[in-house]
Amino acid sequence: MEPSRGPPRVKNKAPAPQQISAEQLLREAVDRQEPALEKPTTRFADLEELHEYQGRKRKEFEDYVRRNRLNMGNWFRYAAWELEQKEYRRARSVFERALDCEPTNVQLWVRYIESEMKERNINHARNLLDRAVSILPRVDKLWYKYVYMEEMLGNIPGTRAVFERWMSWEPDEAAWSAYIKLEKRYGEFDRARNIFERFTIVHPEPRNWIKWAKFEEENGTSDLVREVFGMAIEALGDEFMDEKLFIAYAKFEAKLKEYERSRAIYKYALDRMPRSKSAILHKIVHNIEKQFGDREGSIKTLKIVPHKKFTFAKLWVLKAQFHLRRQELDKARKTVGRAIGMCPKNKLFRAYIEMELKLFEFVRCRTLYEKWIEFDPSNSQAWIKFAELEHGLEDLDRTRAIFELAIQQDVLDMPELVWKAYIDFEEEEGAYDKTRDLYERLLQKTEHVKVWISYAHFELNVPDAEEVSEEATVSEAAKTRARKTFERAHKLYRDQALVEERVSLLNAWKSFEDTHGSEQDIEKVAKMLPRKVKKRRKLDDDSFEEYMDYVFPADDESSAKVNKLMMMAQKWKREQEGAAAG
């Protein structure tokens, strides 16, 4: 029997009648899993056996803690075992010995306290918590457990006493919030108010003042809320002022429909806060003035900007829209016209033309487009939009004249868009000869491969005279024209040795032949396609690097013909020299 060569072949690639899922594999694995070994249950016949077992286990635990006294895991297991045996005194002894080794271990204190609480030894737990917070006053977890236990026992005065001890250490904001929530739960709002006062002294951040104001808004009076905000502004001063405080204050006044007070607060804040710290405040004030402000105030604001030094197109556009909403068309036009005279910008021209288009003032639009092109003749979008306007008005001669002027400009920011728009316009109007002429003129300026491919597709889509419907198939004449375009481009790139462009063109040509060509045409183009080869070139530091290059079969055949001709010429020369010597 011959040894098998290579991997085995699958004879039947059809899907199996029963598919195997991951769920099925896991279920089978669990079903076939052997049961785990269970520790046998220990039964004691009398107290003597029990005491013997306990003594043996205690000796093992003592050996563990003697070897490594700082390993808290051994102490935890030792104490947990004593608790299982209901030996509470021994468990306390184990915990106390562990505390002697590491009195600052928070987890050890928590285990010790929870064991006492679980057995309802309240006084023991209270004493432990008192010791723990005395040794570790900066550990919030112990304080939270302490106040939680006292509150669960209903000892509210004791809970307050614990909180007061805690607050004397000036903890973080969450601790103060917990104390305030306690007083709110039991309706002691005066006590909560006093705590807020101390809270804002220890943590005078603006957000804490806002919390106090919201508390007074829910449980106090509007005068108390104003008093809190006033105290906050006075306490923080101009240096530590925050825009959120003023926004909350102004929104509170607006909620009470005290709009003048709200506006005064915003004005007070804007006068005292730098722009870098009040971006949101400026935005809110702008929106408020836009909705509820007066016309004189808006005009006064516009005059503040030094337009001769700098200005903003958006500012003028918004003012023009303001006049339009008031149905003041002449003032809107004067506003944008004045803006264009002071600072001609593309955004202003677009906004002005859009406004006139909505009013169907096409003569004014033409004048504006002329001004825009005169201001910025390199703006391709301006030329295209101007031509689209004339095309929409069905003035084809003016449209062509605008496109001709555009492509004759020496400088355009995006000339390819202008040429494409011009070509699409002529093709849409059915002027195929003019479109073909545009392609030829464009190819004199650039030999980009995309232009050639677009030219070929255009020739393919041009209908012949005998085609009467758009659903007709592509004629052979159209295929021939497109194929000739591809051949022209290929000859150009081959003569100029433009490899990348030639590869892109051949790929597009191959796609064209796959769709519209015959087998001979497809095979012809396929033979032209290059193959990738790995080459080496020498660098400046005398080292070599590898790179990928394309080798075209047609070039190899022509090179072979030239080499054969040279060899024949050399052979003839040698024969002539031999005959002369003989």
Checking if the pLDDT of 30 tops 80, the result is: yes
Return phi, psi of residue 263, to 5°: -65, -40
pLDDT tens digit string along 158-187? 999 999 999 998 899 999 999 999 999 998
429-483 tens-digit pLDDT: 888 888 888 888 888 888 888 888 888 888 888 877 655 444 557 778 888 888 8
Is-contact 479 516, C-beta < 8 A? yes
The answer, yes or no, to whether residue 146 has pLDDT greater than 90, is yes
> What is the pLDDT averaged over residues 514-534?
80
Phi, psi of 558 (to 5 degrees): -65, -40
Q: Taking residues 198-206, what's their average pLDDT?
A: 89
pLDDT > 90? residue 519: no
pLDDT score of 195: 92
- Interatomic CA distance for residues 209 and 228, integer angstroms: 7
* Neighbouring C-beta atoms of residue 552, cutoff 10 Å: 18
* Spatial CB neighbours of 327, under 8 Å, sequence gap ≥ 6: none
- Euclidean distance between the first and final Cα of the chain, in Å? 70
What pLDDT was estimated at residue 468? 44
Q: 544 has which bridge partners?
A: 538
For position 554, what pLDDT does the model report?
63
Q: In the structure, what pLDDT confidence band is assigned to residue 573 with cuts at 50, 70 and 90?
A: confident
Q: What is the pLDDT of residue 467?
A: 52
Confidence band, pLDDT 50/70/90 cuts, at residue 67: confident
For the residues 16-36, what does the mean pLDDT come to? 82
pLDDT, tens digit, 9 for 90 and up, residues 297-348: 556 555 555 455 445 677 778 878 888 888 888 888 888 888 887 778 888 8
The reported pLDDT for the residue numbered 1 is: 45
Top pLDDT among 189 and 282 is at 189
Mean of the per-residue pLDDT values for the chain?
82
What's the farthest any 2 CA atoms get from each other in the chain?
137
Q: Return the pLDDT at 158.
A: 92
Torsion region of 424: left, alpha or beta (phi above 0 gives left; psi -120 to 50 gives alpha) = alpha
Who contacts 82 (Cβ-Cβ below 8 Å, separation ≥6)? 88, 90, 91, 94
Tens of pLDDT, residue by residue over 117-127, are 888 888 898 99
Mean pLDDT of 400-404: 89
Which of 564, 554, 563 has the alpha carbon at shortest distance from 495? 554
Residue 228 in contact with residue 212, Cβ under 8 Å?
yes
Q: What percent of the chain shows pLDDT beyond 90?
A: 9
State the DSSP string of 430-449.
T-HHHHHHHHHHHHHH---H
Task: State the Cα–Cα distance between residues 464 and 431, nearest whole angstrom.
Answer: 13
Contacts of 417 (CB under 8 A, 6+ apart): 380, 381, 384
Residue 560 confidence (pLDDT) above 90: no
pLDDT at 297: 58
Give the type of residue at 155.
N
